[in-house]
Homo-oligomer: A and B are copies of this chain.
Amino acid sequence: MARIRVGIVGYGNLGRGVETALALQEDMELVGVFTRRDPAAVQTLRPGTAVRAITDLETMPGEIDVLVLCGGSKSDLAEQTPQLAGRFTVVDSFDTHVRVPEHFARVDAAARAAGTTAIISTGWDPGLFSINRLFGEAILASGSTYTFWGRGLSQGHSDALRRIDGVAAAVQYTVPSEEAVDRVRAGERPQLSTREKHTRECFVVLEEGADADAVREAIVTMPHYFEPYDTTVTFLDAEELARDHRGMPHGGFVIRSGESSPGTRQTIEYRLQEDSNPEFTASVLVAYARAAVRLDAAGDHGAKTPFDVAPGLLSPKTPEQLRAELL
A3 CB to closest chain B CB (Å) equals 14
Whether A73 is near chain B, meaning CB under 8 Å from some CB there, is: no
Which listed residue (B21, B97, B263, B269) contacts A260, Cβ 8 A?
B21
Q: Are A308 and B307 in contact (CB under 8 A)?
A: no
Q: Are B314 and A25 in contact (CB under 8 A)?
A: no
Q: Are A279 and B308 in contact (CB under 8 A)?
A: no
Q: Are A283 and B271 in contact (CB under 8 A)?
A: no
Q: Report the contact-size class of chain A (Cβ under 8 Å from the partner).
A: 35 or more
Would you give the 0/1 interface string for A20-58, flagging 1 where the beta carbon is closer than 8 Å to chain B?
110011000000000000000000000000000000000
Report chain B residues within 8 Å CB of A314.
134-135, 138-139
Which listed residue (B134, B266, B274, B279) contacts A276, Cβ 8 A?
B266
Q: Given A17-B260, A126-B327, A322-B307, are A140 and B271 also a contact pair (CB < 8 Å)?
A: no
A30 CB to closest chain B CB (Å) equals 14
Give chain A interface residues in 255-280, CB to chain B under 8 Å: 260-261, 263-276, 279-280
Report chain B residues within 8 Å CB of A126.
327
Q: Are A305 and B287 in contact (CB under 8 A)?
A: no
With the chains together, A107 CA to B133 CA distance in Å?
A: 31
With the chains together, A269 CA to B254 CA distance in Å?
A: 11
Q: Are A133 and B279 in contact (CB under 8 A)?
A: no
Which listed residue (B140, B141, B319) contacts A308, Cβ 8 A?
B319
Tell me the A residues contacting B by CB distance below 8 Å: 17, 20-21, 24-25, 97, 100-101, 104, 121, 126, 128, 130-131, 133-135, 137-142, 185, 187, 260-261, 263-276, 279-280, 282-284, 287, 290, 305-312, 314-316, 319-320, 322-324, 326-327
